[in-house]
Chain A
Amino acid sequence: MVDEIRIQPEDFSYADEYARCLQAAGPECGAVASFVGLVRSSVGDSDVVGLQLEHYPGMTEQSIAKILAAARKRWDLQHVIVVHRVGELKPNAQIVLVVVASSHRPDAFAACEYVMDYLKTEAVFWKKELRNDGDAWIKSTGDDFARRDSWVDEPS
């Protein structure tokens, strides 16, 4: 079954996506790992009133497909779902969901974290924080790149 990548303004249901993943993974599935990212309500001393997310339709999906293809080379995965929201999101809103199904727990855990670390640096999105002290386009942090690069030398 082909992995699912969806970019949408609408919210998603964790329970529904989990059920979809289980069904697509099939009877050999032994482990499902997942991650949900939320909009934080503050950054440093500033209150965040929202997050504006923009993407490049087509190119963004391609950039995520590349990440999933690389994950599939490293680990034995049965199904992967990535849902990413765009548009204007309020604090505590869900932004991103990654669900990974595999026969075994180590593959599911590792692939889920890998996909998220690469999404943070390689996926084609732009984010603007809407803050009480002024709006700001945000950048990937040094920590984001360090987390991504930690996968490079590690044997799979």
Chain B
Amino acid sequence: MTINVLFFASLKEELGLESMTLDVHDSFCNRAELLELLQNKLGRERIAPLLMENVAIAVNQTIEKADFTVQTGDEVAFLPPITGG
């Protein structure tokens, strides 16, 4: 199945990428697994900004603090710390 991965603000700039589709093997996905899949696609160096502890992950626009599940077509976003309005 396929999910849509989005990158925002500084992460978008550092990766040089706004969004991509990613094949995920089953319905379970956690942060480590997701990063591994991205590393296979983009390379270790390029995904380095995503490894920062203060980077949050949102699944379908809800922040996920622990493990999460995804379904095909889900939107998974990497968010750097927000600045506020």
Q: Chain A: residues with CB nearer than 8 A to chain B?
A: 37, 54, 56, 58-59, 62, 64, 84, 95-96, 116, 119-128, 137-140, 144
Interface of A is mostly: mixed
> B81: CB under 8 A from chain A?
yes
Known: A56-B8, A126-B9. A137 touches B79 (CB 8 A): no
Q: How far is the CA of A30 from the CA of B74 in the complex (A)?
A: 46
Which of B6, B61, B80, B85 counts the most chain A CB atoms within 10 A? B85
A56 touches B80 (CB 8 A): no
The 7 nearest A-B residue pairs measured at CB: A126-B9, A119-B85, A59-B61, A120-B84, A127-B83, A123-B85, A137-B10
Chain B interface category by residue count? 10 to 19
Chain A residue at minimum C-beta to C-beta distance from B6? A56
Interface residues of B in 53-85 (CB under 8 A from A): 58, 61, 77, 79-85
A-B residue pairs in contact (CB < 8 Å), sample of 30? A37-B85, A54-B9, A56-B6, A56-B8, A56-B58, A56-B77, A58-B61, A59-B58, A59-B61, A62-B61, A116-B85, A119-B85, A122-B84, A123-B85, A124-B79, A124-B82, A125-B82, A125-B84, A126-B9, A126-B10, A126-B82, A127-B83, A128-B9, A128-B10, A137-B9, A137-B10, A137-B80, A139-B83, A140-B81, A140-B82
